[in-house]
Chain A
Amino acid sequence: MTGDAGLVGPAPVDLAALLAGVAHDGAGAVATFLGLVRDRNAGTAVAGIDYEAYGPMAERELRAILAEAAGRWPDVRAAARHRTGYLAVGEASVAVAASSPHRAAAFDACRYVVEQLKARVPIWKREHYADGRRAWVDGRGAG
């Protein structure tokens, strides 16, 4: 965990802070994932993405996922952040870090948090296209 700071909110994703939150003397491996706003989706030029969250529930769900990871991989420390608001191409929307004594559990836990986040955390995105149109992106998560 990254202390008392919120896990979901408008502040820029600080990967260094996330790393500092999971690093410790017994951690020989740290796996990280960084999700960035991409310049195209399904062939359409994208200028940016507006992220909306159900803040309190997103926070609760993401904390639950981190707790699950800690339960499945007892030697892992995992942390995550998801940004909200308008992000331009190239900006980071999500970051996950997982440390472990050895790399396998760090990779596995990092991926688990990313996949569960995308499936369960109530966050939505509206793409802003280069031609000025905007559209909500169909979620692939539950529902």
Chain B
Amino acid sequence: MSVTVLLFASYADALGTRSLTMELPPGATAGTVLAALRQRPGAEALPPAPLLAVNERYADPGQGLQAGDVVAVLPPVAGG
């Protein structure tokens, strides 16, 4: 199944992209996305447990994914 992965701010800079599509096996979770991201150049910028969101809601790494889901990896927020 295919999911969209979004990166923001310092993470987007470090990995050199803001958006990518990933093919994942059935049963994949948000954590599966993170593990795959860690194989990419620049991924050392990601902390051990970055904030995750699935379809615009904060999510745990164990959250299961469905085809078409949007998974976002978020730096610590700094608005205001």
Residues of A whose CB lies within 8 Å of any CB of B are 35, 51-54, 56-58, 60, 82, 93-94, 114, 117-126, 136-143
Q: Are B78 and A123 within 8 A (Cβ)?
A: yes
Q: Does B24 contact A (CB under 8 A)?
A: no
A126 contact set on B, CB distance < 8 A: 9
Q: Does B34 contact A (CB under 8 A)?
A: no
Q: Are B9 and A124 within 8 A (Cβ)?
A: yes
Q: Which residue of B lies closest to A123 (CB)?
A: B79
Q: Are A140 and B78 within 8 A (Cβ)?
A: yes
Number of interface residues of B (CB under 8 A): 20
Known contacts A57-B56, A142-B51, A143-B51: A122-B74 contact under CB 8 Å? yes
- Which of B6, B50, B74, B79 is within 8 Å of A125, CB to CB? B79
Closest-CB distance, A34 to chain B (whole angstroms): 11
Q: Are A124 and B79 within 8 A (Cβ)?
A: yes
| Most chain B CB neighbours (cut-off 10 Å) among A56, A94, A137, A143 | A143
